[in-house]
Amino acid sequence: GFATGFRWLASAAAPISAAAANTPIKVKLLINGNFVDSATDKWIGVHNPATQDVLSHLPLTTKSEFDSAVSAAAEAFPRWRATPVPTRVRVMFKFQELIRANMEELARSITLEQGKTLADARGDVFRGLEVVETACGIAPFLTGEMLENVAGGIDCYSVRQPLGVVAGICPFNFPAMVPLWMFPLAVTAGNTFLLKPSERDPGAAVMLADLAQQAGLPKGVLNIVHGSRDVVNWICDDPTIRAISFVGSNAAGRYIYARGCAAGKRVQSNLGAKNHAVIMPDADVDSTVKALAGAAFGAAGQRCMAISAAVFVGGLSERWSGPLLEAARSLKVNAGWEKDADLGPMISPEAKSRAERLIASSASQGARVLLDGRGVVVPGYERGNFLGPTVLAGVTPDMECYKEEVFGPVLSCMDAATLDDALAIVNTNEHGNGTAIFTRSGAAARRFQNEVDVGMVGINVPIPVPLPFFSFTGWRGSFVGDLHMYGRSGVQFYTQSKTVTAKWPAEDVAQISSGPSL
């Protein structure tokens, strides 16, 4: 169960649509082990994107509450850091068990606040859970190195130590997975943490923190502050905070990187994306089209690894467009908790109208709208932010829908004469998050894998998000920083090396073997 007031929101016993009838709750802060109401007079509504109902009120944390959260984290650090690694790991073992036990409640909260289908919401929790599982095996990643005899009788060794207080700033699109990319590894490595969830869908993060406390995370090790720009600025500037993990849009991420680095912090910023699929003429039509439709329209296209551009080598012939449109048309747009929903609403009316604007502008620039999701009406949810699957053809790199990250269920189809031409398109785009090639040719796949200037590559795999024993390795415009999130790189981000050079005079041994000289 949950102590945070989210129980009604996520009660498995009640029909999920009934949740909207409840009185909106206040979203709590977590400071020094206590879930508390903010004293602020500034609150913003968290809306159900399928209905516009206000689900909860989120506080814009005050500066003094922020300072208390940072102090709590700083005070908890010495003891937590001194807690043996296996003891810290045992908290994660318990945490993963509690996440599993509360999977449905977490998923329901995500569907209500974020809009994605329950199946996608479970996936959101599950991909985060996998990072928690990896944190249970953190010990080998934390070991250092040693070399004996770097000089006569002198040994040199390095150890990895936690940084201290670190912070995480999250986007709306994966309300469980992204917080779980961050704090489990950070705290298991011995840091204490300040989490700022997305102000659009804070519920899952608060519920997860509740479970982490129940799992035995000592007070002050994980703290939550809510808000938007002000809190972000305080995080960037606060001298106690040593590092920031950010996931979100380009503008915010570059700003946070610059401001955080200027204050002497380590920052990793995962930014926006434009992920291309390259479809070779020899690819299997059925499986490729199915993969494309899922990767472009699933979660209403609001994934940083969604495929938003499909580059057809040899051109988008009827052989491809027919089955692609059929697959896109077969997807059901509905509120995320409805059983037949394949995709839910977009996060906000603004996000939806922006996507519609980009579609219109590209059509006026010469793109052909093969399937138009604008104006889709979902019976019973007429006020929802729905946009149906949209397929644009004849898209060129100068068009708005290509230059901008649409972050909606819109697939831009492009034509390329050869694999070289396709590679040139992908490698010229500013972003370098993910990409995929569909082919039966090992030679084409190998060439693509080797030459593509993108950090995560799928070969006949549409959304190649690495499992957490690897790292999330976005490149170029999709990432600023050095060390990536989760995996070995994530542990390195949350720790620093200390290198010791030690000399123990040999005489000591002789003294000890002749007994203490009293």
Q: What positions carry a catalytic annotation?
A: 304
Residue 122, number of CB atoms within 10 A of its CB: 20
CA separation for the pair 181, 411 (Å, rounded) = 28
Residue 257 engages ligand NAD in binding (rule: CB under 6 A): no
Question: Shortest distance, CB of residue 378 to ligand NAD, whole angstroms?
Answer: 23
Residue 256 vs 423, nearer CB to ligand NAD: 256
Which of 10, 170, 209, 456 touches ligand NAD (CB under 6 A)? Answer: 170
Minimum separation from the CB atom of position 154 to ligand NAD (A): 44
Within residues 199-218, the interface with ligand NAD by CB under 6 A covers 199
Residue with Cβ nearer ligand NAD (155 or 404): 404
- Binding flags for ligand NAD, 297-326, as an x/- string (CB under 6 A): -------x----------------------
Give SS3 for 379: coil
Q: Which two tokens stand for residue 339?
A: 């059983």
* Closer residue to ligand NAD (CB): 320 or 402: 402
Chain position carrying tokens 């059983």:
339
For residues 76 and 273, which CB has a smaller minimum distance to ligand NAD in the complex?
273
Residue 472 CB, nearest approach to ligand NAD (Å): 6
Q: Does 336 bind ligand NAD (CB under 6 A)?
A: no
Residue corresponding to tokens 């920083």: 481
**What's the closest the beta carbon of residue 143 comes to ligand NAD, in angstroms?**
28
314: left (phi over 0), alpha (psi -120 to 50) or beta: left
Return all residues near 262 (Cβ < 8 A) that are at least 6 apart: none
Binding to ligand NAD (CB under 6 A) within 442-501 occurs at 472, 474, 478
Helices 118-135 and 203-214 cross at an angle (nearest 10°) of 40
Tokens encoding 162: 């936690």
User: Number of residues in contact with ligand NAD, rule: CB under 6 A?
Assistant: 28
| Rounded CA separation 175/204 (Å) | 6
Minimal distance in Å, beta carbon 370 to ligand NAD? 24
Residue from the set 272, 294, 409, 468 that interacts with ligand NAD by CB under 6 A: 272
Q: Between residue 225 and residue 254, which ones bind ligand NAD under the rule CB under 6 A?
A: 228-229, 232, 247-249, 252
Any idea what the Cα angle at residue 264 is, between residues 260 and 265, rounded to 5°? 55
Exactly one of 198, 275, 473, 489 binds ligand NAD (CB under 6 A); that residue is 198
Q: Report the nearest approach of ligand NAD to the CB of residue 355 (Å).
A: 12
* Nearest approach, Cβ of residue 236 and ligand NAD (Å): 8
- How many Å separate Cα 17 from the centre of its chain? 27
Site string for ligand NAD, 425-444 (x = CB under 6 A): --------x-----------
Own/partner contacts of 483-488, CB < 8 Å, gap of 24 or more, are 483/266, 483/268, 484/268, 485/181, 485/182, 485/245, 485/247, 485/268, 485/270, 486/131, 486/134, 486/181, 486/185, 487/134, 488/141
Separation between Cα atoms, residue 57 and residue 488, nearest integer Å: 38
Asked if 61 is part of the footprint of ligand NAD (rule: CB under 6 A), the reply reads: no
How large is the angle between the packed helices 103-114 and 203-214, nearest 10 degrees?
160
Residues at the contact surface with ligand NAD, assessed by CB under 6 A: 169-174, 196, 198-199, 228-229, 232, 247-249, 252, 255, 270-273, 304, 405, 407, 433, 472, 474, 478
